[in-house]
Amino acid sequence: MGKSGTTPNVTSKSGSRCIALVGPFQSGKTTLLEAILARTGTIPRQGSVDAGTTIGDASREARHHKMSVEATVATANFMGDSYVFVDCPGSIEFIHDMRTVLPAVDAAVVVCEADEKKVPQLQLILRELEDQNIPRFLFLNKIDKADKRVRDTIKLLQPASRAPLLLRQIPIWKGDLIAGFVDLALERAFVYKEYAPSEIVDLGGDDLSREKEARFTMLETLADHDDALMEQLLEDIQPPRDKVFDDLAKELRDHIVCPVLLGCATRANGVLRLLKALRHEAPDVGETVERLGLKAGGEAAAIVVKTFHTTHGGKMSVARVLAGQIGEGTILSSPAGEAGRVSSVFKIMGQQFEKRGPASAGDTVALGKLDGAKTGATLSTGKQPLPALLDVQPFPPALAIAVQAKERKDDVKLGVAFTKLTDEDPSLVVVHNAESHDVVIWGQGEMHLRVATERLADRFAVPVMSRPPTVGYRETIRKPISIRGRHKKQSGGHGQFGDVVVEIKPMPRGAGFEFEDRVTGGVVPRNYIPAVEEGVVDGLTHGPLGFPVVDLHVALVDGSYHSVDSSDQAFRTAGRIAMSEGLPQCQPVLLEPIYEVEIVCPTEATAKINAILSGRRGQILGFDTREGWSGWDSVRAQMPESEIGDLIIEVRSATAGVGSFKFKFDHMAELTGRTADQIVSARRAAE
């Protein structure tokens, strides 16, 4: 490995590095990846998100929506070292793809903007990194649009980070624009060139004094955890440059600070300095193995960061190799069982895959045909599979749609496509509703579900239709009655005769259904009684309002039979008749499912959330500060299922995209009045 001319103290690294590009929605991650690829000579020309020409957003869905909808991997070389960058989506709806990537990376570059509205999103992402002890740089992007002092921006962003944000570069202003930067560790000034490396310039007098001051602030922060440095500062001794770089690297890796670099991804400004910082300061795979607690003996080990199914070539697992070597023919196991035999190893460049030789510790590659490997799985080659290193559970889904194949003949294909879709993205959940026969896809939001249906059509060739899922309404009764159900038919030879008297009465909420046999004297013979109960149950599937009937007690109290014409079938029909004639007289009433919902949101949005909940017939149960999250609240409420349907859309728009909620069924509640009438007439119309 060659030494850099400008930065002292290069430590030799082993293996390829894996770096995640993360950050709030639309902050410029994909553009930064493009700039990195162009700067490293990996691609001849820098593409743009707006023109749909980037490596990161090359998928059809990403180009269509001009946003990242999945993690994308690209491989590059810089100064003789190999790097794999994973461009993660910023939208909270696709955050699961980021969360499965993070454990495997050596460091993350958090791309952010000087935008107050995006601070909660930044906090959310930093929290993931902090919780997992992943070293992180902040790349303050879109510096070409800066309209406030960088120092003020840092103040704005600081509440999002637990570790102090350590400004490593200060801008050089030319009028209202930032024309370059001073690197505080190097003590050198650079002016930006469009699509070309920045040019070293002399520091002017004014900039020089600003540099001294900013550098001192940086050193002071570093000295908080370095007594020797603190002493030097107190004694006014200039620490040697090597010492400063050592401290920067150490404190980054110990998660004590979060260094901040400046740049503009669209013009590839600041990108070279970022790459150099990664080269000198980011940990290598050895440290990542330690962080993950991997204890491999001689065997090879890897973790799967992403899974996808190609249109023709079967399943691919993007994996980071942590130890040993994995090549064509390597048989891998996970704690869940055998994962399969690697068909080929591929170098990844966005949507392009190129066969390569065996991968060794540090490499991030695609492994072909590991049908038994799941995203997040720990793979290994030994006789005994290594224990799982991690378990990334998706956030609970928040929005659902019912789907069906546009063409009946595709039903089987749809089932297969669902399996692949949820294998790729476990934050989607497919549920078959036995009662309504709906196939319901649950996802993290509107765009997530839209992309899921687009993938069904584009990648798996099953176009689908979607609609809101059926709400689980029920009905019950308020008034007890007694009624006779009589079935008598005389046709040709054998007739049919069944005759029952039942008492129907309401039961408390949640009691369900009870049947009681109070027949005396054998007026309905024993052997027909189960048939009567079946008939009653038949009558409950579709009550007078159109919904299943619950919370009632039915007692068989009287009846009569015919020695020749009576049968199970005849008594079952009699039971059903008793219900269909009796229930409308029992004052039927609609029941709707009520859920308990817990919404978390930044405090400034809490009032808006309360208003949204009240506007949706919600009953606020209380609110509190969110545990462990400064500046966030948690609101609890009870809400009807029908109002939760698209609640997430409103919650997201009230919270700059970061609000989320959990819900669980609580109880069924009576619903009367206009809303109930509308539901009942909609049901009738649908039938």
Ligand X SMILES: Nc1nc2c(ncn2[C@@H]2O[C@H](COP(=O)(O)OP(=O)(O)OP(=O)(O)O)[C@@H](O)[C@H]2O)c(=O)[nH]1
Q: Which residues bind Mg ion (CB under 5 A)?
A: 29-30, 68
The least distance separating Mg ion from the CB of residue 28, rounded to whole angstroms, comes to 8
**Which one of Mg ion, ligand X, none is in contact with 144 (Cβ closer than 5 to 8 A by kind)?**
ligand X
The least distance separating ligand X from the CB of residue 176, rounded to whole angstroms, comes to 14
Residue type, 611: A
Q: What angle do CA 31, 37, 39 make, to 5 degrees?
A: 100
Secondary structure of 115-159 as H, E, C letters: CHHHHHHHHHHHHHHHHCCCCEEEEECCHHHCCCCHHHHHHHHHH
Minimum CB distance to ligand X smaller for 174 or for 295: 174
Strand 17-22 and strand 107-112: the pairing is: parallel
Q: DSSP letters along 217-232, please?
A: HHHHHHHTT-HHHHHH
The least distance separating ligand X from the CB of residue 85, rounded to whole angstroms, comes to 12
Minimum CB distance to ligand X smaller for 125 or for 403: 125
Minimum CB distance to ligand X smaller for 22 or for 554: 22
Closest CA to 349 of 69, 31, 26, 37: 37
**Which one of ligand X, Mg ion, none is in contact with 264 (Cβ closer than 5 to 8 A by kind)?**
ligand X
The least distance separating Mg ion from the CB of residue 192, rounded to whole angstroms, comes to 23
What region does 93 belong to: left with phi over 0, alpha with psi -120 to 50, or beta? alpha
The least distance separating Mg ion from the CB of residue 10, rounded to whole angstroms, comes to 31
Kindly list the residues in this chain that would bind ligand X in the complex (CB under 6 A): 23, 25-31, 48-50, 67-68, 89-91, 111, 141-142, 144-145, 264-266
Q: How far apart are CA 327 and CA 343, in angstroms?
A: 8
Q: How far apart are CA 614 and CA 637, in angstroms?
A: 9
Tokens of 171: 């801008």
Q: How far apart are CA 47 and CA 26, in angstroms?
A: 16
**Which one of ligand X, Mg ion, none is in contact with 142 (Cβ closer than 5 to 8 A by kind)?**
ligand X
Minimum CB distance to Mg ion smaller for 91 or for 606: 91
The least distance separating ligand X from the CB of residue 409, rounded to whole angstroms, comes to 36
Minimum CB distance to ligand X smaller for 89 or for 546: 89
Tell me 584's DSSP state. Answer: G
Q: How far apart are CA 78 and CA 547, in angstroms?
A: 65
Tokens of 523: 């007026």
Q: DSSP letters along 187-202, please?
A: TEEEEEETTEEEEEEP
The least distance separating ligand X from the CB of residue 436, rounded to whole angstroms, comes to 35
The least distance separating ligand X from the CB of residue 140, rounded to whole angstroms, comes to 10
Query: Residue 443: which residues within 8 A CB-CB, separation 6 or more?
Result: 93, 397, 398, 399, 400, 401, 427, 428, 429, 449, 452
Minimum CB distance to Mg ion smaller for 58 or for 143: 58
The least distance separating Mg ion from the CB of residue 141, rounded to whole angstroms, comes to 12
Q: How far apart are CA 461 and CA 385, in angstroms?
A: 36
The least distance separating ligand X from the CB of residue 394, rounded to whole angstroms, comes to 19
**Which one of ligand X, Mg ion, none is in contact with 50 (Cβ closer than 5 to 8 A by kind)?**
ligand X
Closest CA to 686 of 411, 678, 343, 177: 678
Residue type, 358: P
Q: How far apart are CA 245 and CA 8, in angstroms?
A: 8
Minimum CB distance to ligand X smaller for 63 or for 662: 63
Minimum CB distance to ligand X smaller for 265 or for 449: 265
**Which one of Mg ion, ligand X, none is in contact with 7 (Cβ closer than 5 to 8 A by kind)?**
none
The least distance separating ligand X from the CB of residue 601, rounded to whole angstroms, comes to 20
- At residue 594, φ and ψ (nearest 5 deg) are -110, 135
The least distance separating ligand X from the CB of residue 429, rounded to whole angstroms, comes to 23
3-class state of residue 375 by DSSP:
coil
Minimum CB distance to ligand X smaller for 51 or for 686: 51
Which residue's CB atom is positioned nearest to ligand X? 90
**Which one of ligand X, Mg ion, none is in contact with 27 (Cβ closer than 5 to 8 A by kind)?**
ligand X
Quote the strand ranges of 357-425, DSSP E: 359-360, 364-368, 378-380, 399-405
Minimum CB distance to Mg ion smaller for 73 or for 635: 73
CB atoms closer than 10 angstroms to residue 285: 24
**Which one of Mg ion, ligand X, none is in contact with 145 (Cβ closer than 5 to 8 A by kind)?**
ligand X
Q: How far apart are CA 643 and CA 214, in angstroms?
A: 52
Minimum CB distance to ligand X smaller for 289 or for 349: 349
**Which one of Mg ion, ligand X, none is in contact with 141 (Cβ closer than 5 to 8 A by kind)?**
ligand X
**Which one of ligand X, Mg ion, none is in contact with 124 (Cβ closer than 5 to 8 A by kind)?**
none
Q: Which helix (H) or strand (E) holds 104?
A: none
Minimum CB distance to ligand X smaller for 13 or for 450: 450
The least distance separating ligand X from the CB of residue 630, rounded to whole angstroms, comes to 25
The length of the chain, given as a count of residues? 687
Minimum CB distance to Mg ion smaller for 68 or for 330: 68
Sheet containing strand 464-467, strands side by side: 429-432, 439-443, 399-405, 464-467
3-class state of residue 78 by DSSP:
strand
Q: How far apart are CA 93 and CA 446, in angstroms?
A: 8
